[in-house]
């Protein structure tokens, strides 16, 4: 029983669904991150606007913190002095300690702004109370860490000036200046009018009657009206006309933002299974349609294998894609296999016929010799035995060639090979053979035995059909050697010039057992030439003889010239 994942459709569907699932989850996380960032930024901006509005109000700048009109529409606002006391707060935070204390204003009275006066005559700088700078530690902030740096003591510790004076307690304050957080340090300076020491504003402490340009935002979990929520707080510092510094903390609840993110998350989680189901269904249908031709090819191949009918072909889709090319290749393979099987069947039938005739003759002659010893003709017996021997040798060579036997890569001297082959035939051939190879040495690479067999088969064919002469010539052109065997026989008709190279094919005038061979010589010669990287063709004018041209690669070296 097949396993579920053995199907290509199942694996493709599972892989596509998994990839889409990962992509959707990653996209969902990205969307949620961007949405969270935007909503939190919007809440922080709203908190900053609220803090600046409160810090820049006339009541705050005049120091009347108990008269501040604080917004109550879900926003939390506290005004904290430099001593950490809550100067003003929402109704939900009355009597509580500071809900946030991460940007406390610097202690002390800040020096008046140059060339500016208070719009409130009751808070003019000429009536500012005398101030004795307290000895304290000036805070220096680097990132979120707090370090305390001692400052030289210029007076007593504690509060100075009137009841609204700053505390001597030092906490963090200020923004980045020059690549680092600058420390807030209050240095007592004598007043020009009454010699009262005053505080010199640091870069992070706004001058009198102004709101600082810097803002610090943080997300804080705070308990407000008995409920704990996440708030986006913004801290803005200001300085009243009388020189007191304060920090306004404004917070906006993140409940709405978190609810929005939760709704979006729930929507994404609810839609994810539906999207994955759609992807899986579409992938399943598409792959089924795409693989339908493959199933047709498989079914047809199974029927061809079962029936053994190699003439059948698999269906070829018209899509022109990889499956169509697979079908065409399969049909080409089936066609080659059909030709091979037909060739093998014809070869077996022809070989059986060729072997049956001499074997029957031998049996008949031996039976006659057994019955009448005085009538035995040994010459016919020898011819039949030689015929059987040659046929067995040809069949063995063809079997080796069909098995893919590669020829050797030894260097073969064709000039010597031709002369030796012609000399060995003297006295046995019907006609003399003339040789004209020129003055140049001829050499190629391959099997000397197989090339000698090719030349012998060509000479046998020429001797069988020639009228009066057989000639062997050679020529070298375009990096190849062409050996030509000519005879003055009837020649080969154009329509038969390819058929004669088929196995067991003999023309009508070569059917005689005495003069005709088995029809394997030329087939063997062409197969050998192809395996040596050459070719064998036949030409000539009809009635004027046949011209066989054997073309081989030229391997003659420079030292062989001459």
Please check whether residues 378 and 415 belong to one and the same domain: no
523 within some domain: yes
Please check whether residues 387 and 366 belong to one and the same domain: yes
Q: End of a domain among 351, 382, 405? A: 405
Looking at the 3D structure of the chain, how many domains does it have?
Answer: 3
Please check whether residues 351 and 410 belong to one and the same domain: no
Please check whether residues 411 and 369 belong to one and the same domain: no
DSSP annotation of 110: B
Q: Which domain holds residue 429?
A: 406-560
> CATH code at 515?
3.30.565.10
Q: Residue 105: helix, strand or coil by DSSP?
A: coil
Please check whether residues 395 and 435 belong to one and the same domain: no
Q: Which pLDDT belongs to residue 45? A: 94
pLDDT at 233 over 60: yes
- The whole-angstrom separation of Cα 91 and Cα 72 is 8
More confident residue, 169 or 271: 271
pLDDT at 171 over 50: no
pLDDT at 317 over 80: yes
Question: 561 with 480: CB under 8 angstroms?
Answer: no
Bridge-based pairing of strands 227-239 and 210-211 is antiparallel
286 within some domain: no
Bridge-based pairing of strands 180-181 and 176-177 is antiparallel
Bridge-based pairing of strands 188-189 and 198-199 is antiparallel
pLDDT at 17 over 90: yes
Please check whether residues 381 and 398 belong to one and the same domain: yes
pLDDT tens-digit series, residues 260-269? 999 999 999 9
Please check whether residues 400 and 414 belong to one and the same domain: no
Could you write out the three-class secondary structure of 151-172? Answer: CCCCCCCCCCCCCCCCCCCCCC
Please check whether residues 339 and 439 belong to one and the same domain: no
What does each C-alpha distance from 349 to 343, 345, 457 come to in angstroms? 10, 6, 23
> CATH code at 317?
1.10.287.130
Question: The tokens of 531 are what?
Answer: 């395996």
More confident residue, 406 or 270: 270
pLDDT tens-digit series, residues 398-450? 777 777 777 778 899 999 999 999 999 888 888 989 999 888 888 999 999 89
120 within some domain: yes
Please check whether residues 245 and 321 belong to one and the same domain: no
What does each C-alpha distance from 276 to 16, 271, 429 come to in angstroms? 9, 9, 86
User: What is the average per-residue pLDDT within 146-153?
Assistant: 33
233 within some domain: yes
Q: End of a domain among 346, 373, 405? A: 405
185: alpha, beta or left? (left if phi > 0; alpha if psi -120 to 50): beta
Of the chain, the percentage scoring pLDDT greater than 70 comes to 77
- The whole-angstrom separation of Cα 13 and Cα 19 is 10
pLDDT at 27 over 50: yes
The set of residues, in sequence order, having a beta carbon less than 8 Å from that of 290 and lying 6+ positions away, is 323
Please check whether residues 341 and 411 belong to one and the same domain: no
User: What is the average per-residue pLDDT within 92-109?
Assistant: 72
pLDDT at 144 over 80: no
Please check whether residues 122 and 176 belong to one and the same domain: yes
Please check whether residues 346 and 495 belong to one and the same domain: no
pLDDT tens-digit series, residues 487-526? 988 888 888 888 888 877 777 554 444 445 667 888 889 9
273 within some domain: no
Burial of 533 (0-12, 13-18, 19+ CB in 10 A): middle
pLDDT at 208 over 50: yes
Q: End of a domain among 372, 405, 438? A: 405
* Nearest residue to 96 (alpha-carbon basis) of 246, 252, 222: 222
147 within some domain: yes
The set of residues, in sequence order, having a beta carbon less than 8 Å from that of 206 and lying 6+ positions away, is 110, 212, 213, 237, 238, 239, 245
pLDDT tens-digit series, residues 289-298? 888 888 888 8
pLDDT at 128 over 60: no
89 within some domain: yes
């Amino acid at each position: 029983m097949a396993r579920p994942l053995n199907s290509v459709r199942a694996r493709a569907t599972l892989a596509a669904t998994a990839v889409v699932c990962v992509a959707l989850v990653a996209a969902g996380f990205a969307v949620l991150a961007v949405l969270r960032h935007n909503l939190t930024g919007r809440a922080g901006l709203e908190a900053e606007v609220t803090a600046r509005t409160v810090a820049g109000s006339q009541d705050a700048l005049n120091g009347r913190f108990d008269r501040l009109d604080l917004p109550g529409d879900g926003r939390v606002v506290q005004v904290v002095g430099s001593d950490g006391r809550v100067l003003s707060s929402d109704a939900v935070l009355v009597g509580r300690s500071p809900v946030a204390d991460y940007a406390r204003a610097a202690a002390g009275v800040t020096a008046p702004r140059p060339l500016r006066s208070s719009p409130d005559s009751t808070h003019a700088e000429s009536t500012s109370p005398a101030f004795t700078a307290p000895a304290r530690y000036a805070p220096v902030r680097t990132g979120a860490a707090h370090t305390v740096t001692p400052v030289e003591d210029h007076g007593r510790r504690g509060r100075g000036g009137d009841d609204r004076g700053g505390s001597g307690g030092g906490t963090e304050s200020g923004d980045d200046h020059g690549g680092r957080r600058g420390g807030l340090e209050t240095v007592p300076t004598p007043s020009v009018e009454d010699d009262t020491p005053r505080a010199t504003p640091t870069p992070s402490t706004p001058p009198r009657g102004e709101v600082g340009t810097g803002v610090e935002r943080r997300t804080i979990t705070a308990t407000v009206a008995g409920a704990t929520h996440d708030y986006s707080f913004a801290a803005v510092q200001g300085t009243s006309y009388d020189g007191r510094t304060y920090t306004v903390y404004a917070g906006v609840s993140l409940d709405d933002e978190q609810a929005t993110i939760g709704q979006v998350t729930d929507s994404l989680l609810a839609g994810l299974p539906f999207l994955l189901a759609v992807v899986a269904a579409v992938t399943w249908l598409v792959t089924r349609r795409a693989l339908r031709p493959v199933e047709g090819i498989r079914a047809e191949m199974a029927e061809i294998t079962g029936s053994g009918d190699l003439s059948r072909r698999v269906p070829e889709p018209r899509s022109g894609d990889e499956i169509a090319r697979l079908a065409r290749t399969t049909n080409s393979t089936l066609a080659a296999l059909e030709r091979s099987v037909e060739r093998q069947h014809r070869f077996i039938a022809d070989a059986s016929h060729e072997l049956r005739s001499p074997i029957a003759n031998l049996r008949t002659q031996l039976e006659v010799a057994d019955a009448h010893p005085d009538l035995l003709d040994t010459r016919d017996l020898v011819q039949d035995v030689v015929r059987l021997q040659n046929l067995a040798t040809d069949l063995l060579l063809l079997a080796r060639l069909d098995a893919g036997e590669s020829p050797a890569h030894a260097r073969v001297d064709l000039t010597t090979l031709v002369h030796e082959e012609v000399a060995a035939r003297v006295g046995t051939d019907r006609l003399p053979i003339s040789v004209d190879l020129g003055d140049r040495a001829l050499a190629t690479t391959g099997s000397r035995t197989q090339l000698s067999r090719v030349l012998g088969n060509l000479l046998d064919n020429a001797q069988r059909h020639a009228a009066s002469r057989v000639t062997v010539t050679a020529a070298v052109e375009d990096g190849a050697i062409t050996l030509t065997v000519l005879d003055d026989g009837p020649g080969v008709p154009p329509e038969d010039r390819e058929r004669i190279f088929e196995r067991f094919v003999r023309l009508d005038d070569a059917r005689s057992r005495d003069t005709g061979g088995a029809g394997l010589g030329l087939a063997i010669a062409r197969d050998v030439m192809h395996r040596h990287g050459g070719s064998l063709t036949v030409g000539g004018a009809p009635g004027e003889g046949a011209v066989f041209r054997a073309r081989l690669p030229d391997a003659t070296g420079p030292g062989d010239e001459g």
